[in-house]
């Protein structure tokens, strides 16, 4: 059984991933900054605000010496109301970048000793196809830019970690019925999480540094 840490696991996709991994018997560490919406005991919980260096350092300190087989950087925000290329809420744009781009890297860097200690560890960021350069719709500019940026960051991370035997992937969870995706979205959260687990089960050094949808399709950046 693996030790799996999920950032942003108090609700939405992160919580469902935690629920499914825990049901399989894995040792799950659910990280969150806010209120736990689980309504039941699932794994262990740890405080983490992905925008806060001190919070990431405190998490790393609390987990020091403990091998972690899989880190899923799932925490993310959609960003400000006003985020078109002609009318931008600039502080809001910066905040999205901090959460969606720096946040995942902050978490993974803090936990590198734990990943290295595991041997053949894996890392994933929950990104979005909205960050793909193939997707040309001009809405949600800050969010799209953040997901494009985090894809590049994790592609580079994959290159850096390959020699150490750590595989890295960027994931598109589909359009999912969560607070972010809304009630009209295509997928139940259970379906998305089950698909993501399968993609991550198959993730190895031969598949590292790529962008996958929840159904296993490899996506263009
Ligand atoms: N739903 C979709 O259709 C969809 C599609 C493509 C990609 N995604 C991506 O999937 C991921 C999960 O989204 P979701 O649909 O589950 O959204 P959600 O229900 O809104 O959940 C977002 C999660 O991120 C956490 N979070 C946000 N900022 C944080 C911070 N600074 N520190 C720690 N945790 C933070 C939230 O915690 P709080 O409760 O504290 O806010 C919550 O747990 C996101 O990265 C999102 O961009 C979602």
Instruction: Summarize pLDDT for 167-220 with one digit per residue, the tens.
Output: 999 999 999 999 999 999 999 999 999 999 999 999 999 999 999 999 999 999
User: Number of folded domains in the chain?
Assistant: 1
Written as six digits, the tokens of 189 are 């959260």
Q: How far is the C-alpha of 60 from the C-alpha of 111, rounded, in Å? A: 6
pTM over 0.85: yes
pLDDT 10s digits, 7-48: 999 999 999 999 999 999 999 999 999 899 999 999 999 999
Q: How far is the C-alpha of 91 from the C-alpha of 77, rounded, in Å? A: 14
CATH number of the CATH domain containing 209: 3.40.50.720
Written as six digits, the tokens of 26 are 């894995």
Q: Which domain holds residue 67?
A: 3-219
Longest dimension (CA), the chain: 50
Going by alpha carbons, the residue nearest to atom 16 of ligand 1 is: 12
Question: Of 144, 147, 65, nearest to 101 (Cα)?
Answer: 147
Q: Which atom, in ligand 1's list, is nearest to the CA of 12? A: 16
User: How far is the centre of ligand 1, averaged over its atoms, from the C-alpha of 74 (Å)?
Assistant: 6
């Amino acid at each position: 059984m693996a030790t799996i840490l999920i950032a942003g696991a108090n609700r939405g996709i992160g919580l469902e991933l935690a629920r499914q991994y825990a049901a399989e018997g894995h040792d799950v560490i659910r990280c969150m900054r806010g209120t736990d919406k689980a309504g039941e005991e699932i794994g262990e919980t740890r405080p983490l605000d992905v925008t806060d260096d001190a919070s990431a350092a405190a998490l790393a300190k609390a987990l020091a010496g403990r091998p972690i087989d899989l880190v899923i950087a799932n925490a993310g925000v959609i960003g400000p109301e006003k985020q078109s290329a002609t009318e931008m809420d600039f502080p809001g744009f910066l905040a999205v970048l901090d959460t969606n781009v720096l946040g995942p890297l902050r978490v993974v860097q803090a936990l590198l000793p734990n990943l290295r200690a595991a041997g053949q560890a894996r890392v994933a960021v929950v990104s979005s196809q909205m960050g793909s350069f193939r997707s040309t719709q001009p809405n949600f500019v800050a969010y799209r830019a953040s997901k494009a940026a985090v894809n590049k960051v994790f592609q580079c991370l994959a290159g850096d970690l390959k020699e150490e035997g750590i595989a890295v992937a960027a994931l598109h969870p589909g359009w999912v019925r969560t607070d972010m995706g809304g009630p009209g979205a295509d997928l139940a959260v259970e379906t998305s999480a089950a698909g993501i687990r399968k993609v991550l089960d198959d993730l190895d050094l031969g598949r590292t540094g790529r962008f996958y949808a929840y159904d296993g399709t490899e996506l263009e950046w």
